[in-house]
Amino acid sequence: MSWASSYIAELQAGRGVSFRPRGDSMSPKIRSGQLVTLEPITTETRLRKDDVVLCRVHASDYLHFVYAVDRAGRCQIGNARGHINGWATAVYGRLVRIED
């Protein structure tokens, strides 16, 4: 089970989620322990470069930046340090708020 499984389940059910991610890969945009709120992805959601999403890449879940969106709507995902994780196989939620 992934660290994000319960959040993904809520987002897939159409509900927003809030949680406090740990780690520094998204600093300074998101510092470890800050409260983040995500909205579910819907058919109307249009993701853009620099959005922050909860997604799956190569069987791992990430809260990372969208670095690119291709013509098919797939998202290339990476962290705040420029590391590219790859193309998302699923995108579950988009960041809408960050609080301390």
Nearest in space to 93 (alpha carbons), one of 8, 4, 26: 8
> Which residues, listed in sequence order, are joined to residue 86 by a DSSP beta bridge?
77
What confidence score (pLDDT) does residue 82 get? 94
pLDDT in tens, 49-72: 999 999 999 999 999 999 999 998
Residue ranges covered by each domain of the chain: 5-99
Phi-psi bin for 73: left (phi > 0), alpha (psi -120 to 50), beta?
Answer: left
Pick the CATH number of 5-99 from 3.40.640.10, 3.40.50.1820, 1.10.3720.10, 2.10.109.10: 2.10.109.10
pLDDT in tens, 9-46: 999 999 999 999 999 999 999 999 999 999 999 999 99
Q: CA–CA separation, 14 vs 48, rounded Å?
A: 20
- The structure's pTM equals 0.95
